[in-house]
């Protein structure tokens, strides 16, 4: 029997999820990452404190939005949020600490870089970084919390923009098309041209072993 597809929640439902928590934590922050799986580039994270008095129509899980819609929402979130910060875990940190460690660093930097200190932080997934404020994880948080969804949009758009910049520097790999993910064309380009300085060598061990 085929598994039923998850129902996309409305923006109002995502805001309602946060509203319940704001009764206890007025300054609620959402955190999410983008770019854990690709073969190249930094991993990105964003932290967002939304203004419930200035809601943003259309906020949702970034994966459920078109690229054009994400770009428009990115600008609106930056304008209307009480606070936001985008941070990275560098390629060097991915190699040194592994992708999970670098992702946690990026998330920690995003929260610490906010211009306001949140009362509570909601982190997408099942792992959270070391923070000086209270926090909890939320499984599939980007599909349930407006704050996490907003963070997912900022992280995704910022990373995609960076991959377009890398595409201009290293056009032979096609970064603007696959955003660094391990597509057949990407693997073929690596085998043809060799890895670039922005590739994560620890992610290419299997390719070179084969």
> To which CATH superfamily is domain 11-209 assigned?
Ribonuclease H-like superfamily/Ribonuclease H (3.30.420.10)
Residue 149 pLDDT greater than 80, yes or no:
yes
Q: What gap in Å lies between CA 78 and CA 148, rounded to an integer?
A: 14
Paired tokens of 55: 């809601």
At residue 137, φ and ψ (nearest 5 deg) are: -95, 150
Confidence of residue 8 (pLDDT cuts 50, 70, 90): confident
For residue 89, the model assigns a pLDDT of 98
Residue listed under structure tokens 């990105």: 44
The domain locations on the chain are 11-209
Distance of alpha carbon 177 from alpha carbon 179, whole angstroms: 6
Q: Is the pTM of this model over 0.75?
A: yes
**Average pLDDT value for the chain:** 94
Which strand (E) or helix (H) includes residue 104? Answer: helix 91-112
Confidence of residue 208 (pLDDT cuts 50, 70, 90): confident
């Amino acid at each position: 029997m085929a598994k039923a597809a998850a129902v996309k929640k409305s923006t109002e439902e995502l805001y309602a999820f946060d509203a319940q928590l704001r009764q206890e934590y007025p300054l609620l922050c959402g955190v999410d990452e983008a770019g854990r799986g690709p073969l190249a580039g930094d991993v990105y994270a964003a932290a967002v404190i939304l203004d419930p008095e200035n809601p943003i129509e259309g906020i949702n899980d970034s994966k459920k939005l078109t690229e054009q819609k994400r770009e428009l929402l990115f600008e609106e979130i930056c304008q209307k949020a009480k606070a936001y910060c985008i941070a990275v875990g560098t390629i060097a940190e991915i190699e040194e600490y592994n992708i999970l460690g670098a992702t946690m660093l990026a998330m920690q930097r995003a929260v610490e870089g906010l211009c306001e200190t949140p009362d509570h932080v909601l982190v997408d997934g099942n792992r959270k970084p070391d923070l000086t404020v209270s926090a909890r994880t939320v499984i599939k948080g980007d599909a349930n919390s407006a704050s996490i969804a907003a963070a997912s949009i900022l992280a995704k758009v910022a990373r995609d923009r960076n991959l377009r910049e890398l595409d201009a520097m290293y056009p032979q790999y096609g970064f603007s098309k696959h955003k660094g993910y391990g597509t057949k064309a990407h693997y073929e380009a690596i085998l043809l041209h060799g890895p670039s300085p922005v590739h994560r060598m620890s992610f290419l061990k299997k390719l070179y072993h084969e």
